[in-house]
Amino acid sequence: MLIGSLFTFGSQNKLYRRTFLEQQKAAFPEGVVYEEPYFVYPLLFTAERFYSMEEGLYYYRQTGQSVTLQHMNEKYTLYDHPFVQLELLKKIISETEYVKKYYGEIEFHFLYSYYIETLYFAGSGNKYLGADYFLKMQRIVLELFPAYKENPYLQIKGFEKYLKVLLSLEQQFNQKELNQYCRHVVDIINLSDK
């Protein structure tokens, strides 16, 4: 469940009881893309049970005229991704019982979704990630989780690739180097998956 291997963080492939959503005050952040984890992830903590099916029942289509697709091509759209992940972390932290019980998972999920995924998306889709914005991201991660290297999930066999990417938290990049590094992150993640 950590990085979407069992249950993805997309909202469109799940059914929810309305009363459950109302009890949890589930909502999407408005005016941003990459919004689904903010809605789904807290529900994964609070749901008493999950059911999974192999059969696909939902068909998702995008056309060239899609509002989402058009917005995804705007220069700073990628900035929505770390913004939503940081807002999600704030939301989860406000639920102190979850932080105590799932601290390692929450930390790992944030490191992965806020930092690693953003670099991956920048490298795989030629999305713009400015060096100044990236520097802010590095500072936020290091302020929130200075002992990130000790996260138990980063010690799991097969997760070394994530630590390798996270070590860039302590490196400086100019814009050209950052663009190259983002493409390298794609290689690190994809080559390790083969």
- pTM for this one? 0.83
What residues contact residue 40 under an 8 Å CB cut-off, 6+ apart?
9, 10, 11, 14
What b-and-e string marks burial along 78-87, b requiring 16 or more CB atoms within 10 Å of the CB?
bbbbbbbbbe
Residue with tokens 């950052």: 178
What b-and-e string marks burial along 115-153, b requiring 16 or more CB atoms within 10 Å of the CB?
bbbbbbbbbeeebebeeeebeebbebbeeebeebeebeb
What is the mean pLDDT of the segment spanning 118-131? 92
Q: What is the mean pLDDT of the chain?
A: 84
pLDDT at 77: 83
Q: Report the run of H or E that residue 136 belongs to, with start and end.
A: helix 131-144
Taking a C-beta distance cutoff of 8 angstroms, is the pair 29, 84 a contact?
yes
**Most confidently predicted of 36-50, 79-93, 136-150:** 136-150
Neighbours of 38 (CB within 10 A): 23
The DSSP call for residue 97 is H
> Model confidence at 69, in pLDDT bands (50, 70, 90)?
low
